[in-house]
Structure 1
Amino acid sequence: MSENSANMMNDRLTYRDDAPLDVDTVIALYKRTSLGERRPVDRPDVFQCMLDNANLIVTAWDGHQLVGIARTMTDFSYAAYLSDLAVDEAYQKQGIGRRLIDETRQRLWPECMLILLAAPAANDYYPKIGFEPHPRAWTIGGRKKKPSAG
């Protein structure tokens, strides 16, 4: 795709933080990304919970087609964890991921820190757009059972 046609396509895209999201549409997007390999795309119940409990979701749309998502948990003032940044593989290398991050940051206080764990395939992407590596990130795997209802 030429740079000119990529710019024309990018001009067609809309970015929203208020779009109603159908879980099947979101799962279909993740399946069209490398992130789908590391997300529970076979568990609509888990995906619905992921959508319901993220407090900042910015999406990219080409007409009625969902082509990108930035899913964040944040207090909006100090820290924001960008848990998912996913762009349809057919739409990658057009600045959509960068724009989703910019749109996310615009909704946060200026001093709010944006934190993420990079997917292996995207590890080289983030330094190019201004992220710095952090040597003290730690994770612990999930439990095998859902919490019991209280």
Structure 2
Amino acid sequence: MNIFISDKLPTFEQFASLHEASGLIKSKKGNYTREQLYQAANNSWYHISIYDQDQLIAFGRMISDGIYQALICDVMVDPTYQKQGLGKQIVEELIMKCKNSGIQSIQLFSAKGKQHFYKKLGFDEREQDAPGMTLIL
């Protein structure tokens, strides 16, 4: 493997391919096109990509005010490359960007069944008396 990390947005084709392969597109609430999801990634405050040569194999992004709040979204790893620490590496890079920017509060949306992964990285579930809320239009 020839692995490298970049903070440049991958091409639409690379992004759409990983989104499909990872299964993340199936878990989205709402009906979004691949083009809309790519535009969302492009509008992010920060994103990180891991490649094996020219193949995008892992990706994650954050939205933020750049001062005190950040939200991690769309952490995805190609199934062929899972269980190799790439997801952890993506999250650690996103956390490092927050630390370097002085952001102290990081939230995230977790895919079903992935809470344990994020707990190992230091995240806590929200308290029962202060749950996150969602409104789907």
Alignment of 1:95-134 (within 5 A): 95-108=85-98, 109-134=101-126
Partners of 1:110 and 1:13 lie apart in 2 by 29
1:13-55 CA distance string (max 9 Å, x none)? 211112x422222111011113231237971331232122112
Contact 1:70/1:85 (<8 A) preserved: yes
Equivalent position amino acid for 2:84 in 1: Q
Question: Which TM-score applies when normalising by structure 2?
Answer: 0.84
Q: Does 1:24 align with 2:19?
A: no
Could you list the runs of 5+ residues in structure 2 that have no partner in the other structure?
none
Percent identity for Structure 1 against Structure 2: 22
CA RMSD of aligned residues (A): 2.0
Q: Does 1:79 align with 2:69?
A: yes
Match of 2:135 in 1: 140
Partners of 1:124 and 1:26 lie apart in 2 by 26
Contact 2:64/2:71 (<8 A) preserved: yes
Question: Which TM-score applies when normalising by structure 1?
Answer: 0.77
Contact 2:63/2:72 (<8 A) preserved: yes
Partners of 1:28 and 1:41 lie apart in 2 by 18
Structure number with greater Rg is: 1
Which of these residues, 35, 40, 63, is aligned with residue 24 of structure 2? 35
Partners of 2:79 and 2:32 lie apart in 1 by 19
Partners of 2:55 and 2:26 lie apart in 1 by 21
